[in-house]
Amino acid sequence: MGYEPEQLAEDAPPIVTPDDSGNGLGDTWVPLFRHGCSFGPDIYHSVMLNLIKNPNINSTWLFRANILHDVQGADALSALPGSAPEIPSFRGLELQRCMIRKLIPRNTMRDKPLDQTCLLYGGTGEDVQDEGIERTLVVYLPHVGSQSEMPFYHPVVRGIAFLHEWNAAESVGSVSISYLFFDVGDRSVDKLVRTAWHLLKAIYKHGEGRVAGYKKRVHHDVLIPQARVQDRYTALKNKYARDLIKTWAESTDPEKHVFEDLSIAAFLIELWADMYKDVPFPGFVDIGCGNGLLVYILNREGYSGWGFDAQTRKSWASYSTKMGSGGETLQQLVLLPPPVSRARVEELSGSDDFEERLVHDGRFPKGTFIISNHADELTPWTPILATISDCPFIMIPCCSHDLTGSRFRAPRPADRSKADSSYASLVAWVAEITKDCGWEAEQEMLRIPSTRNTAIVGRKKTALEESAVPDINAIVQRYGGTAGYLENVIKLVSSKKGSTAEHIIPS
């Protein structure tokens, strides 16, 4: 059944009926929309808790909610802060839970956070002709004293009420939304009505999805708490975004690249805070660094490291700096992994068509953190390089290539519960290489403006690696071998000026 809610008339009787509490919230709660549903109270309760904890589901202007207060049962009203509004009571409904959340906006330079009380009531109602109707009411009350105090991302209303009614005998129910307006004339404001339509749709969609057996596949914030990464991202964005976008030197979309790399930098900084809490940071290398922005941001934040790519970029003139060793933080190099034969490299060394100085052997100082961000042809090599040099790593797969550097479609995941897409197949494939190399393949879905947002982190060795050193050559052969890789590298290291050879390490 599609979402086609009934829009209630302006003179429709209230669905939510407060008692005479005398606290100013006993005014009329105006009903706007109602829709039939096939999910019961348990699913409704679960859906509403998820929406309370994740307001970003309903608004792209919001990052998250920080839960400040959460008390259930008879003590639901205990220890409320002074800024909280008076708590309304409703006929035939008992207050079961009181939560206070702080809504955190994406842009704190424009909008301020907002505290909001969320109340959960339950009961059979009163003065209702139909018997056996179970009612669950959820009410949102923003902590504001007037309309002018309301931030942009919140409807300009004093309260929002979501009522679920359920007839257990017939297994049918309904969900509805009502507003407590600042002024009775606000009912005619189109934006408020549209917002109510969308808020009710989210509840209906999630509830019906649960009935249909939907199970969440994507799990965020597995490795690092959401608040830490988002707060770090906000600080980095406020510090760098404006100038980086203004001075963008590439032909690509500046906002996408800037915000994406700031997000990845935020995740890495928080990940490293856990990994190197009691030891010095070992440095990093970004293989296939592209425009070099991620290296630049991390360097500016005090993390020593460098990156390389097969082709220079215009941005490097601004982003590259001198390292302590004297080299540049951004360098033009192609990578020739140790499992690939170097015989022909030595044969071509010194010829007019070849510069051996542009080849890196893929070995890094032990412990160096390897970053492989949309490194394409180098993606499947990342856990192999990390094993050879004993380095932790992060890889964010993008386009699908095998170990020869050729495009290919990775085999479908053995786990049939996973999505059957080319990207899901690639992620599963490189995760298997990671495991075969002796790493625990930890996964995180990054909150970045890209559909290619799966990160695989290798920072822990498995029992397999502890008992025996992985046979790298055998692993390389198991996943297709290296035939053809060297030829691609030779094309890239040609010393001819103006060469436009296809990148084997693109951005």
Q: What is the pLDDT of residues 421-454, one digit of tens each?
A: 899 999 999 999 999 999 999 999 999 988 899 9
Cite the DSSP H helix spans in 65-114: none
**494: confidence class by pLDDT, cuts 50, 70, 90:** low
Q: Is residue 228 part of a domain?
A: no
Residue with tokens 């030779």: 490
Q: Is residue 268 part of a domain?
A: no
156 and 292 co-located in one domain: no
Give the span between the Cα atoms of 405 and 407, in whole angstroms. Answer: 7
Of 369, 47, 343, 346, the closest CA to residue 211 belongs to: 47
How many domains are there within the chain? 2
174 and 314 co-located in one domain: no
319 and 180 co-located in one domain: no
The last residue of a domain, from among 159, 178, 211: 211
Range of the domain at 136: 6-211
Tokens of residue 96, six digits: 């079961």
Which CATH number does the domain housing residue 346 bear? 3.40.50
The last residue of a domain, from among 156, 188, 211: 211
Question: What integer best gives the mean pLDDT of the chain?
Answer: 88
Q: Is residue 252 part of a domain?
A: no
172 and 290 co-located in one domain: no
Q: Is residue 124 part of a domain?
A: yes
Q: Is residue 251 part of a domain?
A: no
In Å, what is the CA distance from 80 to each residue of 87, 434, 448?
10, 49, 36
Which CATH number does the domain housing residue 147 bear? 3.30.530
Tokens of residue 174, six digits: 């309904």
197 and 322 co-located in one domain: no
| Predicted local confidence at residue 385, as pLDDT | 97
For the residues 323-336, what does the mean pLDDT come to? 89
**Long-range contacts (CB closer than 8 Å, 24 or more residues apart) made by 448-453:** 448/259, 448/260, 448/263, 448/264, 449/256, 449/259, 449/260, 449/263, 450/256, 450/260, 451/423, 452/374, 452/396, 452/397, 452/398, 452/423, 453/396
Q: Is residue 314 part of a domain?
A: yes
- The string of DSSP codes covering 25-36 is --S--EEEEEEE
Per-residue pLDDT at 346 exceeds 70:
no
**130: confidence class by pLDDT, cuts 50, 70, 90:** low
148 and 12 co-located in one domain: yes
297 and 166 co-located in one domain: no
Q: Is residue 70 part of a domain?
A: yes
Give the span between the Cα atoms of 404 and 408, in whole angstroms. Answer: 10
| Predicted local confidence at residue 490, as pLDDT | 67
Assign 312 to helix, strand or coil.
Answer: coil
195 and 324 co-located in one domain: no
Per-residue pLDDT at 196 exceeds 80:
yes
C-alpha triplet 453, 459, 465: angle, nearest 5°: 120
Q: Is residue 249 part of a domain?
A: no
The last residue of a domain, from among 187, 211, 235: 211
Residue-wise pLDDT tens digits, 273-321: 999 999 999 999 999 999 999 999 999 999 999 999 988 999 999 999 9
Give the span between the Cα atoms of 336 and 384, in whole angstroms. Answer: 12
CA dihedral (424, 428, 431, 433) positive or negative: negative
Residue 204: CB atoms within 10 Å: 22
315 and 429 co-located in one domain: yes
